Structure 1
Amino acid sequence: MCSCSSAHYVLIFLAITVTGGSAVSSVQVNLHDSATLPCSGRCSGLVRWTVYHNPDDVLTECDQTSCRSKEGYQMIHDQYLKGNLSLIITDADYSKRDTYTCDCDYLDICDVTLQVEFLKTSVQIESGDSLVLDLDLSDPVKVIYNSTAAAGPPSGPICTVHRRSLQCTPEYTQRASLTSGFELRRMTSSDSGVYTIWDTKYKEIIHVYTVTVQDNHQSLDRYLGSVVPMWKKVLGKFALSAGLVSVIVAFVLLIVQPKGNEHPCG
């Protein structure tokens, strides 16, 4: 009786050792792309995918008969029968970044972390305009500024955003607000730089904006730089046409002008 119990505990220990020590792999995709979290193995029972920290929330599950899934998640039954237990996430947004677990009859088979690549955007605006940055998610984020202007303000975190709450350093309190995104008013050329949206929960970069603010006189110079050559071409063509007309008129007058020793009445 005792020997049987001891053997039973040894089996439990081995099962925990084998299944609990599985390495965590990772998958990285672009925002809103479909993501496939790979996992393979034979399971004649129930296969489930859950979020690692919430094993009671089943995203999708398959048995020998069929599969059942929440919206946005999928397993393919034919592949499951062949040993492909991969989880498909149809729209990988930032809210789906997490570590996912696949288990067979509640024994861990695979742990896979989903990572979403951060976005990069270049922005050009005029001096005096507002800069609007998309925050991309509702988790707490920080807006971090790195100056590229010679006389720009100090680099570092300038504002913290959590849902509709906004806290900024004194230099930005009167200029910053939440509209359709994070808005910074009355931009000047000294505000040019790199603005990073940092997810404080996952400690990851979400979005990087490279911002160039042009003074009005720079815009005027650029406008004149494109307009003046055009007018030079127009005026050049006009001068060429006028010169050609003058030559033709002079030639005609030379032909029709009476000679000096001839009298019109004969």
Structure 2
Amino acid sequence: MVCVCVCRSVMQSCSSALCILILLIITFTTVSVSADPPVKVNLHDSATLPCSERCSGLVRWTVFTKPTDTLAECDQTSCRSVKEGYQMIHDQYLKGNLSLTITEADFTKRGWYTSDCDDKDLCDVRLQIEPLSTAVQIKSGDSLVLKLDISDPVEVIYNSTGTVGPSSGQICTVDRHSTWCKDEYTQRASLTSVFELRNVTPSDSGVYTVMDKRNEEVIHIYTVTVGSAGGRGDHPDLDTDIGAAVPVSVTVLTLSVLGVTLIVFVAVIVMSVVANKRQRREKRPSQDEG
């Protein structure tokens, strides 16, 4: 009604093309305001896309971009899973619950889904996957490896956790087999099946976010801590745990020397005792004669 009134009020001073443009603007504004929030689930969990409508005919669910590719459908007699991993429940359908269940959600199943009743649109629902979160601890000089998880173009965004780190923001863009990076990362970054940042230093510590560039969805968050190469410090040869640094051969040699010394010491004592007894025996006859 609002659209009709607006058009009528401007008909006398505008063309039909302008009136159509006004209708389109009002329509898309109404859709964007009334859109339902997306369904968010963890990776590999099941997801239920809600739809509560009455339909006495055939209800179909499809991906929004593939309207002829049916995923699951129901009518008055039964429900059918046309594609594996998608299902509807007939008892719920009879009660007006036309929801679609995705048995295992992954990143390939993200996006908009739509349902229709006898080719009349009913519900549009968007599925999102909750971002993955990974903590990484590596040594200075090693490579930081980030899984991209999706084949769509992504951005790698860095946020420093220290005052000495490089400036935060987008550092690289990855589009299938090509990579574009800021100048300070160009020589260190490479792409195979994963994104690799070579020769990291403690200043590279921070939060790295892999974001779906097209849909502006966060895919994976890496919290990275880069330690010094020496483990306890920059100079591993100054390790205070001396016992752990002594070679086994040195320890065995030391024990051998101590053992030989002890044997010699005992032998000397025994020989001294034997000599004293011999001297006493030799003195006894002369003492008896006197």
TM above 0.5, yes or no, is yes
Instruction: Give 1:177 deviation, angstroms.
Output: 0.8
For 1:183, the equivalent position in structure 2 comes to: 196
Contact 1:123/1:209 (8 A) holds in 2 = yes
Instruction: Give the CA deviation at 1:24.
Output: 2.6
- CA 1:108/1:225 → structure 2, altered by over 3 Å: closer, same or farther? farther
Distance in 1, Cα, partners of 2:137 & 2:69 = 45
1:64 has 2:76 as partner:
yes
Aligned length: 236
Residue 33 of structure 1 and its aligned partner are, at CA, apart by 1.1
Distance in 1 (CA, whole Å) between partners of 2:37 and 2:196 is 38
Separation (CA, whole Å) in 2 of partners of 1:28 and 1:222: 48
Q: Does 1:48 align with 2:60?
A: yes
1:31-73: CA deviations, max 9, x gaps? 1211011222332210011223432222211112332421221
Which residue does 1:129 correspond to in 2?
A: 142
Aligned to 1:216: 229
State the structure with bigger RCO (CA 8 A, min sep 6), 1 or 2. Answer: 1
Of 200, 211, 214, the residue aligned with 1:198 is 211
Tell whether 2:101 aligns with 1:80.
no
Is 1:154 the counterpart of 2:148? The answer is no
> Which shows bigger deviation, 76-85 or 56-65?
76-85
Contact 2:62–2:114 (8 Å) recurs in 1: yes
Report the identity percentage.
Answer: 65
Residue 150 and residue 228 in structure 1: after superposition, are their counterparts in 2 closer, same or farther (change >3 A)?
A: farther
Letter in 1 for 2:48: T
Instruction: Name the residue aligned to 1:264.
Output: none
Which structure shows the higher helix fraction? Answer: 2
CA contact under 8 A between 2:45 and 2:105: conserved in structure 1? yes
Q: Which amino acid aligns with 2:155?
A: K
Give the secondary-structure state (helix, strand or coil) at the position aligned to 2:91. Answer: helix
How far has the Cα of 1:116 moved from its partner?
1.2
TM-aligned CA distance change 1:193 to 1:85, over 3 Å: same
User: What amino acid sits opposite 1:101 in the alignment?
Assistant: T
The 8 Å contact of residues 134 and 222 in structure 2, kept in 1 or not, is answered as yes
Provide the secondary structure at the position in 2 that maps to 1:24: coil
TM-score by length of 2: 0.67
Q: Which residue number in structure 1 is paired with residue 125 of structure 2? A: 112
Q: Is the 8 A contact 1:22 1:110 kept in 2?
A: no
- Point out the more displaced range, 142-151 or 197-206: 142-151
Is residue 228–residue 234 contact of structure 2 (8 Å, CA) maintained in 1?
Answer: no
3-state SS, counterpart of residue 91 of structure 1 = coil
Larger CA deviation: 125-134 vs 110-119: 110-119
2:185 pairs with one of 167, 172, 175: 172
Write the distance in 2 (CA, Å) between the matches of 1:88 and 1:228. 62
Change (3 A) 1:222 1:73: farther
Relative to 1, partners in 2 of residues 1:222 and 1:85: Cα closer, same or farther, differing over 3 Å?
farther
Q: Which runs of no fewer than 5 residues in structure 2 stay unpaired?
A: 1-26, 246-290
Distance between the aligned counterparts of 1:226 and 1:37, measured in 2?
60
Distance 1:227 1:36 in 2: 57
Indicate the residue corresponding to 1:99 in structure 2.
Answer: 112
Contact 1:49 1:101 in 2 (8 A): yes
Query: Is residue 152–residue 192 contact of structure 1 (8 Å, CA) maintained in 2?
Result: yes
Match of residue 287 from structure 2: none
Moved over 3 A (4+): 20-23, 217-231
CA contact (8 A) 1:22 1:111 kept: no
Q: Which protein has the larger Cα radius of gyration, Structure 1 or Structure 2?
A: 2
In the superposition, the TM-score normalised over structure 1's length comes to 0.72
Contact 1:149 1:189 in 2 (8 A): no
Does residue 37 in structure 1 map to residue 49 in structure 2? yes
Q: How far did 1:123 drift?
A: 0.4
